[in-house]
Amino acid sequence: MSTASTSAVDSRFEVLLGFDMETDVGSWTPFHEGLRHGTPAVLEVFRTHGVTGTFYFVGHSAREVPESVLQVKEAGHEIGAHSLYHETVGDALFPIPGIYPLLSHEVKPRLEKNTQWVEEVAGVRPVSFRCPRLFGSTTVCNALEDLGYVSDATYPMYFYKEQLAPYHPDQNDWTKKGDLRLVQIPNFADLSLESTDAYGRDCDQWPKFRTESASALLEHVDHFLDYLESQKVDRKVLAFYFHPWEFHPMPQGMIHFGEGGVLPDPFIVKGCGDYALEQFDILIAELKNRGAAFHTAEEIALATL
Ligand SMILES: [Zn+2]
């Protein structure tokens, strides 16, 4: 452990462990092997540590694997929503072939349908949301506000770099502070690093825990906590994002279906399965050692003034 990291050891901070419950490897496959088999394994790690998190379900995935929704609910975690079909609901930060951003008038009805599909399976109405790929927008925030959501854990700190703690977004610019009742929960990134990537993705947290290790990610955690201290941010919240398919072995190489296939970049599928589970377990234990208090997104939102 570096000297820079020791100052964070005694400080209390809040942790949101958020899981985006979707098809394997995001939008790239039609399969739900991770949701089926990764979810119970992840829930077991949560159980052994006695912590809770928020699980954001794609509407389509909730319908396809309803038992996964019920497992999560029965284990006492928050059920959130993650779009209808893992489409681009907000402003695309980079292009995805075949997946074009929703037109602005489509956003609210589709989020409403997403809410309804998840509620039908879960028996509870989701009040927490996360946009696929952290592609958020002002339109999304306003729609979530109208639909009664209390939180959106989308803001990618690695990209916008401005908001360092949960905030109420502006109705005309979701990346600024304003008067919406909704709380935007930024996903932390190591802003102490000099980025060499056009999008700043090398400062991001994901998916270091499995492509490298829990301790590599914890180094970023410690840097981030120190950075918040240097910026005089009193409320320290670390929002993490994971996916159930990271906790089940993903095919290495070409994944074939329908009339073709996809070849995910190596980092997308690296370390998925047992290694990810082992590192996730270490990560939670180490966050606890550092004094973390684990909360759901709803709890973090309701505690935001
Ligand atoms: Zn997603």
pLDDT in tens, 140-199: 999 999 999 999 999 999 999 999 999 999 999 999 999 999 999 999 999 988 888 887
Looking at residue 5, what is its pLDDT?
Answer: 42
Ligand 1 centroid to 27 CA: how many Å?
A: 8
Average model confidence (pLDDT) for the chain?
94
Ligand 1 centroid to 22 CA: how many Å?
A: 6
Ligand 1 centroid to 86 CA: how many Å?
A: 6
Asked if residue 143 lies in contact with residue 180, where contact means CB atoms within 8 angstroms, the answer is no
Q: For residue 14, give the nearest of 212, 211, 276, 298 by alpha carbon.
A: 298
Q: Which of 80-89, 259-268, 281-290 has the lowest mean pLDDT?
A: 259-268
Ligand 1 centroid to 3 CA: how many Å?
A: 35
Ligand 1 centroid to 7 CA: how many Å?
A: 34
Please say if the pLDDT value at position 69 is more than 70.
yes
**Pairing mode, strands 255-257 and 260-262:** antiparallel
Please say if the pLDDT value at position 7 is more than 70.
no
Does an H or E element contain 279, and which?
Answer: helix 274-289
Instruction: Write the CB contacts of 182 (distance below 8 Å, at least 6 apart in sequence).
Output: 141, 144, 145, 149, 150, 151, 152, 168, 169, 301
Asked if residue 126 lies in contact with residue 144, where contact means CB atoms within 8 angstroms, the answer is no
Ligand 1 centroid to 153 CA: how many Å?
A: 12
Ligand 1 centroid to 231 CA: how many Å?
A: 30
Ligand 1 centroid to 112 CA: how many Å?
A: 18
Looking at residue 33, what is its pLDDT?
Answer: 98
Please say if the pLDDT value at position 28 is more than 50.
yes
Asked if residue 172 lies in contact with residue 141, where contact means CB atoms within 8 angstroms, the answer is no
What percent of the chain has pLDDT above 70?
A: 96
Ligand 1 centroid to 135 CA: how many Å?
A: 10
Q: For residue 269, give the nearest of 251, 289, 282 by alpha carbon.
A: 251
Which residue is listed with tokens 């401005």? 162
Please say if the pLDDT value at position 2 is more than 80.
no
Ligand 1 centroid to 133 CA: how many Å?
A: 6
Ligand 1 centroid to 146 CA: how many Å?
A: 22
Asked if residue 18 lies in contact with residue 56, where contact means CB atoms within 8 angstroms, the answer is yes
Please list the helix, strand and coil fractions of the chain in percent, rounded to the nearest 5, in that order. 40, 15, 45
Ligand 1 centroid to 139 CA: how many Å?
A: 19
Which residue is listed with tokens 């993650």? 82
Residue 69 backbone phi and psi in degrees, to 5: -60, -45
User: DSSP labels for 209-263?
Assistant: HHHT-HHHHHHHHHHHHHHHHHTT--S-EEEEEE-GGGGSPPPSS-EEETTEEE-
